[in-house]
């Protein structure tokens, strides 16, 4: 089977690295797979994919870093040309802009099957949601990265859409107990707790409110530092907030970190305060390290995270709610063994290779990929 997988760009998000995980673990094995991005982007997912597939099978339409409206409009006719050249049997579409461009281009190829891979629980722009609904009829099947993702985005397909919707988790993990995180080793000696968050510096990740929450935590007498690993459009704004709140000694923007595993093992608490999420691979990776996780109750985190059982849930996405959840975690860190153990069990039962094989097999069979 000839497959073209279309993505927005080679950014360092869960959708892009989730695709690399599928490729590296043989999800498309036995098929003629190539990957095409609307624009180049700035991440290292391109390197992972080229290492797995070869340089000639991983490309992009434009050199731009982001898919703006101008790039999207120009990309559609160029994508039609690429489809005419490659003639794939199946076109996979990942993330909103690639979905929209791919659906419109696919109208010229009625025999080609289209699979939308959904990672988004809603669309920030009302117009985007309307366009997705209007073009939903060109989608033959849906993959989704978490049950909550599909439950939330299902309305964008309209009542008349009746194709198969299939769960395809985007991460393969193993529980790390050989190199435990810092809190499991009995640290820190000096009483300063190290909190970590990772992800692109974009509005939906809500890092500004996390920084404001750290100010509350510090003002309540807790000795903490926050490391933020990631790069993105919000960096300048976040740096300004850190300075305005006088948190230079407590909050550090680390920039893009390719391998965050050493950071996780050197931290006490992992925090994710997004206002929107899909599966949220970063939270799952922290759970697999045996970390105590604090998270907002959004997206796929709703499916696998239970407050007080395998993580601490914030009651909202504003600074006071985030601060309260962090303080709960700080106060209970020494006695958090049960929660962290339950987090490892969650990973073991839902996200290891043995756990995801069934879901992958079901999706592959439904598309006649095996």
Where are the domains positioned within the chain?
2-170+353-366, 182-350
Check residue 316 and report its DSSP letter.
S
- Tell me the per-residue pLDDT of 169-218, one tens digit each, with 9 for 90 and over: 998 988 776 655 666 655 555 579 999 999 999 999 999 999 999 999 99
Task: Give how far the C-alpha of residue 192 lies from the chain's centroid of Cα atoms, to the nearest Å.
Answer: 29
pTM assigned to the model: 0.85
pLDDT score recorded for residue 125: 66
Q: What is the pLDDT of residue 327?
A: 97
Q: In which band, very low, low, confident or very high, does the pLDDT at 41 lie, cut at 50, 70 and 90?
A: confident
Domain 2-170+353-366: CATH class, spelled out: alpha beta
Instruction: Compute the distance between CA of residue 100 and CA of residue 106 in angstroms, rounded to an integer.
Output: 10
Least confident range from 3-7, 68-72, 334-338, 359-363: namely 68-72
DSSP reduced 3-state for 56 = helix
Supply the pLDDT for residue 368.
Answer: 84
Q: State residue 126's pLDDT score.
A: 67
Q: 127: pLDDT confidence band, cut at 50, 70 and 90?
A: low
Q: Which tens digit of pLDDT belongs to each residue from 156-166?
A: 898 889 999 99
3-state secondary structure of 34: strand
Mean per-residue pLDDT for 280-303? Answer: 94
CB-facing half-sphere around the CA of 303: CA atoms within 13 A: 24
The pLDDT value given to residue 181: 67
Going through 208-249 in order, the beta strands assigned E by DSSP cover 224-229
Task: Tell me the pLDDT of the chain averaged across its residues.
Answer: 91
Give the Å distances, CA to CA, from 226 to 57, 71, 85, 337, 368: 40, 36, 49, 22, 47
Residue 123, pLDDT > 70, answer no
pLDDT at 141 over 60: yes
Q: What is the pLDDT of residue 134?
A: 87
Domains 2-170+353-366 and 182-350 share a fold: yes
The pLDDT of residue 355: 87
Q: Quick one: average pLDDT of 102-124?
A: 89
pLDDT for residue 319: 98
DSSP symbol at 196: E
Q: What's the rounded Cα separation, in Å, for the pair 101 and 347?
A: 35
Q: What is the pLDDT of residues 27-38, one digit of tens each?
A: 999 999 999 999
What architecture does CATH give domain 182-350? 3-Layer(aba) Sandwich (3.40)
Share of the chain above pLDDT 90, in %: 69
Angle at Cα 73 formed by Cα 236 and Cα 92, nearest 5°? 90
Enclosing H/E stretch for 7: strand 2-7
């Amino acid at each position: 089977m000839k497959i073209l997988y279309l993505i927005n760009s080679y950014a360092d998000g869960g959708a892009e690295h989730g695709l690399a995980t599928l490729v590296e673990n043989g999800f498309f094995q036995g098929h003629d797979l190539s990957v095409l991005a609307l624009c180049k982007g700035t991440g290292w997912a391109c390197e992972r994919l080229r290492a797995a597939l070869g340089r000639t099978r991983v490309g992009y339409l434009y050199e731009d870093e982001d898919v703006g409206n101008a790039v999207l409009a120009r990309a559609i006719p160029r994508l039609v040309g690429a489809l005419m050249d490659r003639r794939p049997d199946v076109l996979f579409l990942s993330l909103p802009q690639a979905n929209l461009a791919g659906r419109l281009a696919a109208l010229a190829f009625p025999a080609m099957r289209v699979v939308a891979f959904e990672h988004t629980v809603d669309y920030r722009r009302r117009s985007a949601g309307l366009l997705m609904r209007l073009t939903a009829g060109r989608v033959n099947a849906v993959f989704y990265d978490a049950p909550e993702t599909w439950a939330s985005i299902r309305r964008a397909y309209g009542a008349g859409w009746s194709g198969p919707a299939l769960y395809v988790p985007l991460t393969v993990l193993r529980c790390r107990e050989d190199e435990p995180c810092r809190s499991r080793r009995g640290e820190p000696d000096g009483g300063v707790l190290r909190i970590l968050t990772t992800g692109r510096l974009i509005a939906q990740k809500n890092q500004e409110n996390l920084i404001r929450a750290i100010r509350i935590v510090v003002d309540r007498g807790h000795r903490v530092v926050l490391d933020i690993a990631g790069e993105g459009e919000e960096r300048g704004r976040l740096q300004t907030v850190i300075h305005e709140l006088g948190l230079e000694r407590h909050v550090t923007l680390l920039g893009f970190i390719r391998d965050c595993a050493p950071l996780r093992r050197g931290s006490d608490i992992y925090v994710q305060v997004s206002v929107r999420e899909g599966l949220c691979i970063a939270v799952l990776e922290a759970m697999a390290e045996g970390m105590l996780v604090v998270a907002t109750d959004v997206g796929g985190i709703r499916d696998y995270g239970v407050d007080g059982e395998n993580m601490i849930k914030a009651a909202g996405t504003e600074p006071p709610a985030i601060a309260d959840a962090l303080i709960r975690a700080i106060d209970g860190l020494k006695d958090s063994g049960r929660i962290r153990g339950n987090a490892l069990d969650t990973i073991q039962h839902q996200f290891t290779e043995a756990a995801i094989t069934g879901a992958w097999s079901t999706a592959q069979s439904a598309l006649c990929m095996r």
